[in-house]
């Protein structure tokens, strides 16, 4: 009886994990603003990592300042484009497939 229950549970679990609706190749359309929001989050995470590594002594001051300035400039460009698109109401629909 325990073997049957274990096999049934295994089959149910396998079916739940690999159900066709969870297909990673089928993605919803994303807007340009969605892409820019994701990019902004990545830039902010990179800034946090850079700051942590600088405080840990892994970067000299000059390298830290250059990399931080580059990331801040990129973040400013991303935010400016997001604000421009949102102000125009143009969300730039595209598919990432």
Whether pLDDT at 58 is above 80:
yes
3-state secondary structure of 70: helix
Structure pTM?
A: 0.64
Confidence of residue 96 (pLDDT cuts 50, 70, 90): very low
CA 97 to CA 90: how far, in whole Å? 21
Q: Which of 52-61, 63-72, 87-96 has the lowest mean pLDDT?
A: 87-96
* Residue range 35-51: mean pLDDT, rounded: 96
The string of pLDDT tens digits covering residues 5-19 is 889 889 888 777 777
Structure tokens belonging to residue 1: 């009886």
DSSP state string for 21-69: GG-TT----B-HHHHHHHHHHHHHHHHHHHHHHHHTT-S-HHHHHHHHH
Taking the domains of the chain in order of start, what are their residue ranges?
28-97
The answer to whether the CB of 81 falls within 8 A of the CB of 12 is no
């Amino acid at each position: 009886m325990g073997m049957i229950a274990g096999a049934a549970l295994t089959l149910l679990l396998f079916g739940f994990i690999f159900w066709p609706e969870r297909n990673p190749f089928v993605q919803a359309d994303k807007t340009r603003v969605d892409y820019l929001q994701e990019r902004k989050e990545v830039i902010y995470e990179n800034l946090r990592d850079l700051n942590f590594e600088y405080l840990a002594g892994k970067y000299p001051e000059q390298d830290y300042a250059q990399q931080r300035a580059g990331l801040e400039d990129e973040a400013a460009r991303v935010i400016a484009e997001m604000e421009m698109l949102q102000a125009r109401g143009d969300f730039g629909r595209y598919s990432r497939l």
